Amino acid sequence: MRILIVEDEKSLADIVKKGLEEEGYAVDVAYNGEDGLFMAENEASDLILLDIMLPVIDGMTILKRIRKAGVRTPVLMLTAKDTVMDKVSGLDSGADDYLTKPFSFDELLARIRALIRRGSEVKSSIIEIGDLVIDTASHEVKRGGRLISLSAREYALLEYMAINSDKVLTRTSLTEHIYDQDFDLDSNVIDVFINRVRNKIDRDFSRRLIHTIRGAGYMLKR
């Protein structure tokens, strides 16, 4: 899953980026409101972490403008303010959740997972597809009761496919949602990772879950 951080406090933004990447997320960062607005409107993201107090364009203005432009990406507002009116204003402008600084990284992760689930048909931290079980909180994956070891990138790919199960996902879509903006979209690395994940979750089982849709992409079938 791909997250955009719009935060002018560089040390905080970099710490959060590093932590999220260690959790398997692809992360883009904008350090001012102008860059944040451009990236929010033009880059594919699954979630936006948006600070309110930003240089050039403030977070509340960014929020209103992307919602007016039809961007429906979940937005988690970050702010040092903790008044009821600030929260009401943010939520009324289209924010999905609100987190006051300083915050714990574990709470941030929990809120991110909840917001991503809210926008999909998956409403639990446990995703079950046949005998495949994915715990999005612990990143533990089992099939037929057997623990399957995945790298962070392999897990990110499988989780995204599971959240979008029974949908055809193009190579470009998969790349955009598990890699940041600096990744080469022309690379065939997605095919490589699909094969690795397929070997781990399908090879020893009679029923295949990952299917190649010729000329279109891939699908994880329920």
State the 10-residue block means of pLDDT for the chain, 222 residues long: 96 96 94 97 94 94 95 92 74 89 94 86 82 94 96 93 94 87 73 94 94 94 91
The predicted model scores a pTM of 0.82
CA angle 3, 8, 12 (to 5 degrees): 70
Cα–Cα separations (whole angstroms), residue 216 to 30, 65, 197, 198: 32, 33, 19, 18
* Tokens at 100, concatenated: 């006051």
Q: Residue type for 214, please?
A: R
- Domain 2-118: give its CATH architecture: 3-Layer(aba) Sandwich (3.40)
Range 126-220 classified under CATH 1.10.10.10? yes
Domain positions in the chain = 2-118, 126-220
What is the distance between the alpha carbons of residues 222 and 131, in angstroms, rounded to a whole number? 10
Q: What is the pLDDT of residue 123?
A: 65
Q: What is the pLDDT of residue 66?
A: 96
Q: Residue type for 211, please?
A: H
- Concatenated DSSP letters for 119-175? TSS--SSEEEETTEEEETTTTEEEETTEEE---HHHHHHHHHHHHTTTS-B-HHHHH
* Tokens at 129, concatenated: 């597809």
Q: What is the pLDDT of residue 185?
A: 61
What is the distance between the alpha carbons of residues 142 and 137, in angstroms, rounded to a whole number? 14
Q: What is the pLDDT of residue 186?
A: 63
What is the distance between the alpha carbons of residues 136 and 127, in angstroms, rounded to a whole number? 8
